[in-house]
Amino acid sequence: MQARKILPPKNAVIQFFHVSKQYPGGQLALDDVSFELPRGDFVFLTGPSGAGKTTLLKLIFREEIPSQGQILVNGRNVASIPRTKIPFLRRTISVVFQDFRLIPRKTVFENVSFLPRILGADLSRQKRLAQEALDRVGLGHRMGAFPLQLSGGEQQRVSIARALINEPEILIADEPTGNLDPDLSEEILSIFHEINEQGTTLLIATHDRWLLERLGKRILTLRAGRLADDSQPLSTTEGETP
Amino acid sequence: MNLWQALVYFLREAAISLVRSWRVSLLAVLTIGVSLFVSGMLLLVSGNLSGILADWQARARIIVYLESDASEDQITTLRKTMAEAPGVVGVEYVDAKAAGENFRRSFPSLSDLVEGWKSEPLPPSLEVSLDPEMIDFAWVQGWTEEIRRRPFVEMVDDDQDWIKQVATAVALAQGIGIALGLVLLAAAMFTIASVIRLTAYLYHEEIAVMRIVGATEFFIRGPFYFEGFLQGLLGGLLATGSLFGVHYALKARYSASVWGGVFLEQAPSLGAQGFLIALGAVAGLLGAVFSLRREDLAAPTEDP
Protein backbone atom coordinates (compact mmCIF):
# COMPACT_ATOMS: atom_id res chain seq x y z
CA MET A 1 0.00 0.00 0.00
CA GLN A 2 1.36 3.40 -0.89
CA ALA A 3 1.91 5.59 2.17
CA ARG A 4 -0.40 8.59 2.11
CA LYS A 5 1.33 11.89 2.64
CA ILE A 6 -0.49 14.05 5.13
CA LEU A 7 0.57 17.65 5.39
CA PRO A 8 1.97 18.17 8.87
CA PRO A 9 1.11 21.19 10.95
CA LYS A 10 3.68 23.89 10.56
CA ASN A 11 7.07 22.73 11.84
CA ALA A 12 5.87 19.36 13.20
CA VAL A 13 8.36 16.70 12.21
CA ILE A 14 7.20 13.85 14.46
CA GLN A 15 3.57 13.41 15.55
CA PHE A 16 2.09 10.71 17.78
CA PHE A 17 -1.71 10.39 17.82
CA HIS A 18 -3.11 8.14 20.57
CA VAL A 19 -0.39 5.59 20.02
CA SER A 20 -0.46 2.30 21.91
CA LYS A 21 1.87 -0.62 21.55
CA GLN A 22 1.15 -4.04 22.88
CA TYR A 23 3.67 -6.83 22.32
CA PRO A 24 2.53 -10.32 21.32
CA GLY A 25 3.00 -11.58 24.87
CA GLY A 26 0.37 -9.08 26.00
CA GLN A 27 2.73 -6.57 27.57
CA LEU A 28 1.46 -3.03 27.04
CA ALA A 29 4.57 -0.94 26.33
CA LEU A 30 2.82 2.30 25.33
CA ASP A 31 -0.68 3.41 26.19
CA ASP A 32 -2.45 6.22 24.32
CA VAL A 33 0.59 8.44 23.81
CA SER A 34 0.16 11.71 21.88
CA PHE A 35 2.68 14.50 21.28
CA GLU A 36 4.26 16.57 18.54
CA LEU A 37 7.90 17.40 17.94
CA PRO A 38 8.52 20.67 16.10
CA ARG A 39 11.28 20.81 13.50
CA GLY A 40 14.63 21.79 15.00
CA ASP A 41 13.52 21.01 18.54
CA PHE A 42 15.68 19.28 21.15
CA VAL A 43 13.58 17.05 23.36
CA PHE A 44 14.44 14.58 26.08
CA LEU A 45 12.42 11.46 26.66
CA THR A 46 12.66 10.11 30.17
CA GLY A 47 11.09 7.71 32.57
CA PRO A 48 12.04 4.69 34.64
CA SER A 49 13.28 1.49 33.08
CA GLY A 50 10.44 -0.32 31.32
CA ALA A 51 8.42 2.86 30.90
CA GLY A 52 8.40 2.48 27.10
CA LYS A 53 11.18 4.87 26.00
CA THR A 54 12.93 2.44 23.68
CA THR A 55 9.62 1.23 22.24
CA LEU A 56 8.64 4.81 21.45
CA LEU A 57 11.93 5.38 19.63
CA LYS A 58 11.62 2.11 17.73
CA LEU A 59 8.17 3.15 16.56
CA ILE A 60 9.61 6.29 14.99
CA PHE A 61 12.07 4.47 12.75
CA ARG A 62 9.68 1.56 12.07
CA GLU A 63 11.52 -1.03 14.07
CA GLU A 64 8.11 -1.64 15.59
CA ILE A 65 4.60 -0.76 14.47
CA PRO A 66 1.90 0.62 16.74
CA SER A 67 -1.00 -1.55 17.85
CA GLN A 68 -3.24 1.51 17.83
CA GLY A 69 -2.97 5.13 16.80
CA GLN A 70 -0.88 6.85 14.16
CA ILE A 71 2.68 8.07 13.95
CA LEU A 72 3.57 10.66 11.34
CA VAL A 73 7.16 11.47 10.44
CA ASN A 74 7.30 14.47 8.13
CA GLY A 75 3.61 13.96 7.53
CA ARG A 76 3.94 10.35 6.46
CA ASN A 77 2.17 7.58 8.33
CA VAL A 78 5.10 5.42 9.36
CA ALA A 79 3.05 2.24 9.88
CA SER A 80 1.72 2.28 6.33
CA ILE A 81 5.12 2.58 4.67
CA PRO A 82 5.68 -0.57 2.58
CA ARG A 83 8.43 -2.80 3.87
CA THR A 84 10.61 -2.16 0.85
CA LYS A 85 10.47 1.59 1.49
CA ILE A 86 11.49 1.44 5.15
CA PRO A 87 15.21 1.93 4.33
CA PHE A 88 14.35 5.26 2.73
CA LEU A 89 12.58 6.42 5.91
CA ARG A 90 15.60 5.36 7.94
CA ARG A 91 17.96 7.40 5.81
CA THR A 92 16.22 10.52 7.12
CA ILE A 93 16.31 9.38 10.74
CA SER A 94 19.62 8.64 12.38
CA VAL A 95 19.83 6.59 15.54
CA VAL A 96 22.47 6.53 18.26
CA PHE A 97 22.43 3.67 20.74
CA GLN A 98 23.73 3.21 24.24
CA ASP A 99 25.86 0.26 23.06
CA PHE A 100 27.10 2.19 20.01
CA ARG A 101 26.23 -0.61 17.54
CA LEU A 102 29.45 -0.28 15.57
CA ILE A 103 30.63 -3.10 13.34
CA PRO A 104 33.79 -4.41 15.04
CA ARG A 105 35.38 -5.90 11.92
CA LYS A 106 35.15 -2.62 10.02
CA THR A 107 37.31 0.45 10.48
CA VAL A 108 35.98 3.73 11.78
CA PHE A 109 35.93 5.01 8.21
CA GLU A 110 33.99 1.97 6.97
CA ASN A 111 31.51 2.23 9.84
CA VAL A 112 30.90 5.91 9.29
CA SER A 113 30.81 5.84 5.48
CA PHE A 114 28.44 2.90 5.24
CA LEU A 115 25.40 4.92 4.22
CA PRO A 116 27.15 7.02 1.52
CA ARG A 117 28.64 3.80 0.20
CA ILE A 118 25.29 2.08 -0.23
CA LEU A 119 23.94 5.27 -1.76
CA GLY A 120 26.61 5.01 -4.46
CA ALA A 121 29.09 7.70 -3.39
CA ASP A 122 32.55 7.14 -4.84
CA LEU A 123 35.45 6.52 -2.52
CA SER A 124 36.76 10.08 -2.51
CA ARG A 125 33.31 11.42 -1.60
CA GLN A 126 32.93 8.75 1.09
CA LYS A 127 36.26 9.83 2.53
CA ARG A 128 35.37 13.50 2.43
CA LEU A 129 31.98 12.95 4.10
CA ALA A 130 33.48 10.62 6.71
CA GLN A 131 36.25 13.11 7.43
CA GLU A 132 33.72 15.93 7.87
CA ALA A 133 31.49 13.86 10.15
CA LEU A 134 34.41 12.61 12.23
CA ASP A 135 35.87 16.12 12.46
CA ARG A 136 32.56 17.28 13.93
CA VAL A 137 32.97 14.82 16.78
CA GLY A 138 36.73 15.40 17.10
CA LEU A 139 37.84 12.03 15.71
CA GLY A 140 39.06 12.97 12.25
CA HIS A 141 42.41 11.41 13.05
CA ARG A 142 41.02 7.92 13.85
CA MET A 143 39.63 6.96 10.46
CA GLY A 144 41.76 3.81 10.19
CA ALA A 145 41.17 2.53 13.71
CA PHE A 146 38.88 -0.36 14.55
CA PRO A 147 36.09 0.21 17.11
CA LEU A 148 37.65 -2.03 19.72
CA GLN A 149 40.80 0.09 19.62
CA LEU A 150 38.76 3.09 20.81
CA SER A 151 37.52 4.09 24.25
CA GLY A 152 33.80 4.02 25.05
CA GLY A 153 33.48 7.76 24.56
CA GLU A 154 35.29 7.58 21.23
CA GLN A 155 33.08 4.73 20.08
CA GLN A 156 30.00 6.76 20.95
CA ARG A 157 31.39 9.72 19.03
CA VAL A 158 31.98 7.44 16.03
CA SER A 159 28.38 6.27 16.22
CA ILE A 160 27.29 9.92 16.31
CA ALA A 161 29.50 10.65 13.28
CA ARG A 162 27.81 7.75 11.49
CA ALA A 163 24.46 9.27 12.41
CA LEU A 164 25.50 12.69 11.11
CA ILE A 165 27.07 11.71 7.81
CA ASN A 166 23.82 11.88 5.89
CA GLU A 167 22.76 15.24 7.39
CA PRO A 168 19.63 13.65 8.90
CA GLU A 169 16.51 15.67 9.60
CA ILE A 170 15.98 13.76 12.81
CA LEU A 171 18.43 12.24 15.23
CA ILE A 172 17.17 9.98 17.95
CA ALA A 173 19.36 8.54 20.66
CA ASP A 174 18.63 5.80 23.16
CA GLU A 175 20.54 6.34 26.39
CA PRO A 176 23.56 7.72 24.52
CA THR A 177 25.49 8.43 27.70
CA GLY A 178 24.37 5.35 29.57
CA ASN A 179 27.77 3.68 29.31
CA LEU A 180 29.88 6.82 29.72
CA ASP A 181 31.37 8.64 32.68
CA PRO A 182 30.26 12.23 33.44
CA ASP A 183 33.13 13.87 31.53
CA LEU A 184 32.40 11.88 28.40
CA SER A 185 28.66 12.51 28.87
CA GLU A 186 29.37 16.21 28.91
CA GLU A 187 31.33 15.84 25.67
CA ILE A 188 28.53 13.94 23.96
CA LEU A 189 25.95 16.43 25.18
CA SER A 190 28.02 19.24 23.74
CA ILE A 191 28.09 17.49 20.35
CA PHE A 192 24.31 17.00 20.44
CA HIS A 193 23.88 20.66 21.23
CA GLU A 194 25.96 21.66 18.22
CA ILE A 195 24.02 19.29 15.96
CA ASN A 196 20.76 20.80 17.15
CA GLU A 197 22.10 24.31 16.58
CA GLN A 198 22.61 23.34 12.94
CA GLY A 199 18.92 22.50 12.55
CA THR A 200 18.63 18.77 13.26
CA THR A 201 15.67 17.70 15.39
CA LEU A 202 16.84 15.66 18.37
CA LEU A 203 14.94 13.24 20.57
CA ILE A 204 17.14 11.80 23.30
CA ALA A 205 15.92 9.02 25.58
CA THR A 206 17.64 9.09 28.95
CA HIS A 207 17.05 8.65 32.63
CA ASP A 208 20.19 10.61 33.44
CA ARG A 209 18.85 13.44 35.63
CA TRP A 210 22.05 15.42 35.21
CA LEU A 211 21.61 15.36 31.44
CA LEU A 212 17.96 16.46 31.76
CA GLU A 213 18.79 19.38 33.98
CA ARG A 214 21.92 20.43 32.12
CA LEU A 215 20.31 21.87 28.98
CA GLY A 216 16.87 22.88 30.19
CA LYS A 217 15.07 21.45 27.21
CA ARG A 218 11.57 20.07 26.81
CA ILE A 219 11.11 16.73 28.58
CA LEU A 220 8.60 14.03 27.78
CA THR A 221 8.15 11.72 30.75
CA LEU A 222 6.78 8.22 30.35
CA ARG A 223 5.46 6.14 33.22
CA ALA A 224 4.12 2.63 32.68
CA GLY A 225 3.68 3.37 28.99
CA ARG A 226 1.69 6.57 29.45
CA LEU A 227 2.89 10.09 28.75
CA ALA A 228 2.88 11.36 32.32
CA ASP A 229 4.41 14.75 31.73
CA ASP A 230 5.39 17.07 28.88
CA SER A 231 7.18 20.07 30.30
CA GLN A 232 10.12 22.43 30.44
CA PRO A 233 12.12 21.58 33.58
CA LEU A 234 12.91 24.05 36.27
CA SER A 235 16.64 24.34 36.14
CA THR A 236 19.30 26.70 37.38
CA THR A 237 21.23 26.19 34.15
CA GLU A 238 18.31 26.55 31.78
CA GLY A 239 19.33 27.47 28.26
CA GLU A 240 23.01 27.21 29.05
CA THR A 241 25.26 25.77 26.45
CA PRO A 242 27.24 22.87 27.89
CA MET B 1 25.06 2.51 -5.87
CA ASN B 2 24.90 1.10 -9.36
CA LEU B 3 24.76 -2.60 -10.09
CA TRP B 4 28.46 -2.91 -10.86
CA GLN B 5 29.45 -1.19 -7.61
CA ALA B 6 27.00 -3.40 -5.74
CA LEU B 7 28.44 -6.56 -7.28
CA VAL B 8 31.98 -5.50 -6.41
CA TYR B 9 30.84 -4.76 -2.86
CA PHE B 10 29.05 -8.13 -2.58
CA LEU B 11 32.07 -9.97 -3.92
CA ARG B 12 34.41 -8.23 -1.51
CA GLU B 13 32.16 -8.83 1.50
CA ALA B 14 31.60 -12.46 0.51
CA ALA B 15 35.33 -13.04 0.07
CA ILE B 16 36.05 -11.50 3.47
CA SER B 17 33.41 -13.69 5.06
CA LEU B 18 34.80 -16.81 3.37
CA VAL B 19 38.25 -16.07 4.73
CA ARG B 20 37.00 -15.10 8.19
CA SER B 21 34.95 -18.25 8.65
CA TRP B 22 37.20 -20.46 6.58
CA ARG B 23 36.49 -23.64 8.52
CA VAL B 24 32.75 -23.71 7.86
CA SER B 25 33.34 -22.38 4.36
CA LEU B 26 35.78 -25.21 3.71
CA LEU B 27 33.19 -27.70 4.93
CA ALA B 28 30.64 -26.31 2.48
CA VAL B 29 33.14 -26.27 -0.38
CA LEU B 30 34.25 -29.83 0.36
CA THR B 31 30.67 -31.07 0.61
CA ILE B 32 29.69 -29.66 -2.72
CA GLY B 33 33.06 -30.66 -4.18
CA VAL B 34 32.64 -34.30 -3.15
CA SER B 35 29.03 -34.37 -4.36
CA LEU B 36 29.96 -32.98 -7.73
CA PHE B 37 33.03 -35.21 -7.96
CA VAL B 38 30.92 -38.34 -7.41
CA SER B 39 28.31 -37.07 -9.87
CA GLY B 40 31.05 -36.19 -12.34
CA MET B 41 32.67 -39.61 -11.99
CA LEU B 42 29.33 -41.29 -12.67
CA LEU B 43 28.78 -39.02 -15.66
CA LEU B 44 32.28 -39.81 -16.92
CA VAL B 45 31.82 -43.57 -16.62
CA SER B 46 28.37 -43.53 -18.17
CA GLY B 47 29.64 -41.19 -20.91
CA ASN B 48 32.45 -43.61 -21.71
CA LEU B 49 30.05 -46.55 -21.65
CA SER B 50 27.69 -44.67 -23.96
CA GLY B 51 30.57 -43.95 -26.31
CA ILE B 52 31.61 -47.57 -26.37
CA LEU B 53 28.03 -48.65 -26.88
CA ALA B 54 27.65 -46.21 -29.78
CA ASP B 55 30.84 -47.60 -31.27
CA TRP B 56 29.54 -51.15 -30.94
CA GLN B 57 26.24 -50.13 -32.44
CA ALA B 58 28.02 -48.50 -35.38
CA ARG B 59 29.98 -51.66 -36.00
CA ALA B 60 27.15 -54.05 -35.27
CA ARG B 61 25.98 -56.12 -38.16
CA ILE B 62 23.30 -58.65 -38.95
CA ILE B 63 24.80 -61.63 -40.72
CA VAL B 64 22.37 -63.72 -42.74
CA TYR B 65 23.90 -67.13 -43.47
CA LEU B 66 22.46 -68.71 -46.60
CA GLU B 67 21.98 -72.30 -47.65
CA SER B 68 24.80 -73.43 -49.93
CA ASP B 69 22.30 -74.13 -52.64
CA ALA B 70 20.57 -70.74 -52.54
CA SER B 71 20.13 -69.51 -56.10
CA GLU B 72 21.62 -66.28 -57.34
CA ASP B 73 18.13 -64.90 -57.94
CA GLN B 74 17.09 -65.66 -54.37
CA ILE B 75 20.23 -64.02 -53.06
CA THR B 76 19.79 -60.94 -55.27
CA THR B 77 16.15 -60.55 -54.31
CA LEU B 78 16.88 -60.88 -50.60
CA ARG B 79 19.82 -58.48 -50.88
CA LYS B 80 17.61 -55.90 -52.62
CA THR B 81 14.79 -56.34 -50.09
CA MET B 82 17.16 -55.87 -47.18
CA ALA B 83 18.91 -52.88 -48.75
CA GLU B 84 15.56 -51.07 -49.03
CA ALA B 85 14.70 -51.59 -45.37
CA PRO B 86 14.82 -48.46 -43.15
CA GLY B 87 18.06 -48.02 -41.20
CA VAL B 88 20.04 -50.34 -43.48
CA VAL B 89 23.12 -48.58 -44.84
CA GLY B 90 24.67 -51.46 -46.73
CA VAL B 91 24.34 -55.15 -47.62
CA GLU B 92 27.47 -56.99 -48.61
CA TYR B 93 27.51 -60.46 -50.13
CA VAL B 94 30.30 -62.71 -48.84
CA ASP B 95 30.58 -65.99 -50.78
CA ALA B 96 31.68 -69.23 -49.11
CA LYS B 97 35.23 -68.95 -50.34
CA ALA B 98 35.70 -65.41 -48.98
CA ALA B 99 34.08 -66.45 -45.69
CA GLY B 100 36.56 -69.31 -45.37
CA GLU B 101 39.49 -67.03 -46.07
CA ASN B 102 38.18 -64.55 -43.49
CA PHE B 103 37.90 -67.34 -40.95
CA ARG B 104 41.45 -68.56 -41.53
CA ARG B 105 42.76 -65.00 -41.37
CA SER B 106 40.84 -64.10 -38.26
CA PHE B 107 41.47 -67.34 -36.36
CA PRO B 108 44.79 -68.73 -37.61
CA SER B 109 45.11 -71.05 -34.60
CA LEU B 110 41.86 -72.77 -35.62
CA SER B 111 42.68 -73.04 -39.29
CA ASP B 112 43.95 -76.60 -38.80
CA LEU B 113 40.44 -77.69 -37.95
CA VAL B 114 39.14 -76.94 -41.41
CA GLU B 115 42.24 -78.03 -43.29
CA GLY B 116 41.48 -80.77 -45.78
CA TRP B 117 37.71 -80.11 -45.96
CA LYS B 118 36.32 -80.76 -49.43
CA SER B 119 33.91 -77.86 -49.18
CA GLU B 120 34.26 -74.44 -47.60
CA PRO B 121 33.68 -74.49 -43.80
CA LEU B 122 31.33 -71.51 -43.76
CA PRO B 123 28.24 -70.88 -45.85
CA PRO B 124 27.82 -67.80 -48.04
CA SER B 125 26.28 -64.84 -46.21
CA LEU B 126 24.82 -61.37 -46.52
CA GLU B 127 26.29 -58.87 -44.03
CA VAL B 128 23.89 -56.06 -43.23
CA SER B 129 25.22 -52.75 -41.81
CA LEU B 130 22.76 -50.62 -39.85
CA ASP B 131 22.63 -46.91 -39.16
CA PRO B 132 22.95 -46.70 -35.33
CA GLU B 133 20.84 -43.53 -35.30
CA MET B 134 17.96 -45.35 -36.95
CA ILE B 135 18.04 -48.57 -35.00
CA ASP B 136 14.73 -49.56 -33.49
CA PHE B 137 15.39 -52.72 -31.53
CA ALA B 138 11.83 -53.97 -31.71
CA TRP B 139 11.65 -53.43 -35.44
CA VAL B 140 15.04 -55.06 -36.06
CA GLN B 141 13.95 -58.08 -34.02
CA GLY B 142 10.78 -58.52 -36.10
CA TRP B 143 12.65 -57.98 -39.30
CA THR B 144 15.33 -60.57 -38.56
CA GLU B 145 12.62 -63.09 -37.59
CA GLU B 146 10.99 -62.54 -40.95
CA ILE B 147 14.31 -63.11 -42.76
CA ARG B 148 15.04 -66.14 -40.64
CA ARG B 149 11.84 -67.80 -41.89
CA ARG B 150 12.91 -67.69 -45.53
CA PRO B 151 13.63 -71.22 -46.83
CA PHE B 152 17.13 -70.57 -48.18
CA VAL B 153 18.25 -68.80 -45.01
CA GLU B 154 20.20 -71.09 -42.72
CA MET B 155 20.77 -68.82 -39.76
CA VAL B 156 20.66 -65.14 -38.77
CA ASP B 157 23.35 -63.86 -36.43
CA ASP B 158 22.09 -60.67 -34.78
CA ASP B 159 24.28 -58.49 -32.50
CA GLN B 160 21.31 -56.32 -31.55
CA ASP B 161 20.11 -58.55 -28.76
CA TRP B 162 23.14 -58.20 -26.54
CA ILE B 163 23.67 -54.56 -27.55
CA LYS B 164 20.14 -53.91 -26.36
CA GLN B 165 20.96 -55.55 -23.04
CA VAL B 166 24.09 -53.48 -22.66
CA ALA B 167 22.17 -50.31 -23.61
CA THR B 168 19.58 -51.09 -20.94
CA ALA B 169 22.34 -51.60 -18.38
CA VAL B 170 23.98 -48.30 -19.38
CA ALA B 171 20.65 -46.44 -19.19
CA LEU B 172 20.05 -47.97 -15.76
CA ALA B 173 23.53 -46.93 -14.61
CA GLN B 174 22.92 -43.42 -15.93
CA GLY B 175 19.58 -43.22 -14.14
CA ILE B 176 21.13 -44.37 -10.87
CA GLY B 177 23.98 -41.92 -11.42
CA ILE B 178 21.64 -39.00 -11.99
CA ALA B 179 19.50 -39.93 -8.98
CA LEU B 180 22.57 -40.33 -6.76
CA GLY B 181 24.01 -37.08 -8.10
CA LEU B 182 20.77 -35.22 -7.33
CA VAL B 183 20.67 -36.62 -3.79
CA LEU B 184 24.28 -35.62 -3.20
CA LEU B 185 23.69 -32.20 -4.71
CA ALA B 186 20.65 -31.68 -2.48
CA ALA B 187 22.82 -32.63 0.51
CA ALA B 188 25.46 -30.15 -0.61
CA MET B 189 22.84 -27.42 -1.01
CA PHE B 190 21.57 -28.17 2.47
CA THR B 191 25.10 -27.86 3.84
CA ILE B 192 25.63 -24.53 2.09
CA ALA B 193 22.24 -23.31 3.30
CA SER B 194 23.23 -24.23 6.86
CA VAL B 195 26.57 -22.48 6.53
CA ILE B 196 24.89 -19.34 5.18
CA ARG B 197 22.33 -19.38 7.98
CA LEU B 198 25.11 -19.79 10.50
CA THR B 199 27.00 -16.89 8.93
CA ALA B 200 23.85 -14.77 8.92
CA TYR B 201 23.38 -15.60 12.58
CA LEU B 202 26.98 -14.66 13.37
CA TYR B 203 26.45 -11.34 11.64
CA HIS B 204 22.93 -10.67 12.88
CA GLU B 205 23.99 -7.66 14.93
CA GLU B 206 25.84 -6.23 11.97
CA ILE B 207 22.80 -6.85 9.81
CA ALA B 208 20.60 -5.06 12.34
CA VAL B 209 22.95 -2.05 12.16
CA MET B 210 22.82 -2.11 8.36
CA ARG B 211 19.03 -2.07 8.51
CA ILE B 212 18.90 0.77 10.98
CA VAL B 213 21.11 3.01 8.86
CA GLY B 214 18.87 2.38 5.84
CA ALA B 215 20.38 -0.50 3.87
CA THR B 216 17.94 -2.26 1.56
CA GLU B 217 17.32 -6.02 1.67
CA PHE B 218 19.14 -6.35 -1.66
CA PHE B 219 22.20 -4.77 -0.12
CA ILE B 220 21.98 -6.83 3.07
CA ARG B 221 21.37 -10.20 1.42
CA GLY B 222 23.63 -9.71 -1.60
CA PRO B 223 26.87 -10.67 0.18
CA PHE B 224 25.26 -13.85 1.55
CA TYR B 225 24.03 -14.84 -1.91
CA PHE B 226 27.50 -14.20 -3.28
CA GLU B 227 29.04 -16.24 -0.50
CA GLY B 228 26.89 -19.24 -1.41
CA PHE B 229 27.69 -18.69 -5.07
CA LEU B 230 31.43 -18.59 -4.36
CA GLN B 231 31.27 -21.69 -2.16
CA GLY B 232 29.46 -23.57 -4.92
CA LEU B 233 31.86 -22.26 -7.55
CA LEU B 234 34.88 -23.32 -5.52
CA GLY B 235 33.25 -26.72 -4.90
CA GLY B 236 32.67 -27.09 -8.64
CA LEU B 237 36.27 -26.15 -9.41
CA LEU B 238 37.50 -28.58 -6.78
CA ALA B 239 35.32 -31.37 -8.20
CA THR B 240 36.41 -30.70 -11.77
CA GLY B 241 40.09 -30.53 -10.84
CA SER B 242 39.83 -33.73 -8.80
CA LEU B 243 37.94 -35.48 -11.57
CA PHE B 244 40.57 -34.52 -14.08
CA GLY B 245 43.40 -35.53 -11.73
CA VAL B 246 41.84 -38.86 -10.79
CA HIS B 247 41.06 -39.65 -14.42
CA TYR B 248 44.63 -38.82 -15.45
CA ALA B 249 46.15 -40.90 -12.65
CA LEU B 250 43.89 -43.91 -13.25
CA LYS B 251 44.35 -43.79 -16.97
CA ALA B 252 48.11 -43.71 -16.62
CA ARG B 253 47.95 -46.78 -14.42
CA TYR B 254 45.09 -48.84 -15.86
CA SER B 255 44.81 -47.84 -19.50
CA ALA B 256 46.23 -51.19 -20.63
CA SER B 257 43.52 -53.17 -18.85
CA VAL B 258 40.11 -53.90 -20.36
CA TRP B 259 38.25 -51.97 -17.66
CA GLY B 260 40.64 -49.05 -17.96
CA GLY B 261 39.83 -48.89 -21.64
CA VAL B 262 36.12 -49.15 -20.96
CA PHE B 263 35.84 -46.59 -18.17
CA LEU B 264 38.72 -44.22 -18.76
CA GLU B 265 38.82 -43.91 -22.54
CA GLN B 266 37.69 -40.28 -22.68
CA ALA B 267 38.57 -37.48 -20.25
CA PRO B 268 35.79 -35.19 -18.96
CA SER B 269 34.91 -32.86 -21.81
CA LEU B 270 35.19 -29.10 -21.48
CA GLY B 271 31.40 -28.93 -21.64
CA ALA B 272 31.06 -31.43 -18.79
CA GLN B 273 33.62 -29.53 -16.72
CA GLY B 274 31.81 -26.25 -17.36
CA PHE B 275 28.53 -27.91 -16.48
CA LEU B 276 29.86 -29.21 -13.15
CA ILE B 277 31.32 -25.82 -12.21
CA ALA B 278 28.12 -24.01 -13.20
CA LEU B 279 26.05 -26.61 -11.34
CA GLY B 280 28.13 -26.01 -8.21
CA ALA B 281 27.76 -22.25 -8.46
CA VAL B 282 24.01 -22.46 -9.05
CA ALA B 283 23.59 -24.98 -6.22
CA GLY B 284 25.53 -22.68 -3.88
CA LEU B 285 23.43 -19.69 -4.89
CA LEU B 286 20.20 -21.64 -4.48
CA GLY B 287 21.40 -22.88 -1.09
CA ALA B 288 21.95 -19.29 0.02
CA VAL B 289 18.59 -18.13 -1.34
CA PHE B 290 16.90 -21.10 0.28
CA SER B 291 18.57 -20.46 3.62
CA LEU B 292 17.46 -16.82 3.70
CA ARG B 293 14.08 -17.21 2.06
CA ARG B 294 12.20 -16.85 5.32
CA GLU B 295 15.10 -15.53 7.31
CA ASP B 296 14.12 -12.12 8.54
CA LEU B 297 17.67 -11.44 9.78
CA ALA B 298 16.24 -9.43 12.63
CA ALA B 299 14.02 -7.66 10.13
CA PRO B 300 11.41 -5.09 11.16
CA THR B 301 7.99 -6.30 12.14
CA GLU B 302 5.59 -7.28 9.43
CA ASP B 303 3.47 -4.82 7.57
CA PRO B 304 0.23 -4.06 9.33
Domains annotated for chain B, with CATH where assigned, are 3-55+165-293 (no CATH), 58-160 (3.30.70.3040)
Strands B88-94, A28-38: pairing kind: unpaired
Rounded Cα–Cα distance for residues A234 and A237 (Å)? 9
Q: How far is A236 from chain B (nearest CA, A)?
A: 37
Task: Give the integer Cα–Cα distance in Å for B203 and B209.
Answer: 10
Phi, psi of B19 (to 5 degrees): -70, -40
Residues 111-150 of B with CB under 8 A from A: none
Q: Which residue among A95, A117, A120 sits closest to B212, beta carbon to beta carbon?
A: A95
Contacts of B223 (CB under 8 A, 6+ apart): B9, B10, B13, B14, B17
pLDDT in tens, chain A (242 residues): 444 445 555 578 999 999 999 999 889 999 999 999 999 999 999 999 889 999 999 999 999 999 999 999 999 999 999 988 999 999 999 999 888 899 888 899 999 998 898 888 888 999 999 999 999 888 999 999 999 999 988 999 999 999 999 889 999 999 888 877 788 788 888 888 889 998 899 999 998 887 788 778 899 999 999 999 998 755 544 444 44
B151 touches chain A (CB under 8 A): no
Query: Chain A partners of B304 at a C-beta cutoff of 8 Å?
Result: 65, 79-80
Cβ–Cβ gap B301/A65 under 8 Å:
yes
Which pLDDT does position A237 carry in this prediction? Answer: 46
Interface check for B172 against chain A (CB to CB < 8 A): the answer is: no
**Per-residue pLDDT tens over the stretch B41-56:** 887 887 787 777 777 7
Instruction: From B89, B78, B121, select the one nearest B102 (Cα to Cα).
Output: B121
Which of A118, A122, A123, A167 is the best residue to mutate to test the B interface, defined by the most B CB atoms within 10 Å of its own CB?
A118
Spatial contact of A174 and A202, defined as CB atoms under 8 Å apart? no
Please tell me whether the interface predicted TM-score (ipTM) of this complex is above 0.85.
no
Partner-chain contact B300 A114, CB within 8 Å: no
Task: Provide the sign of the torsion angle of the four alpha carbons B196, B202, B204, B210, taken in this order.
Answer: negative
Min distance A170 CA to chain B CA atoms (Å): 13
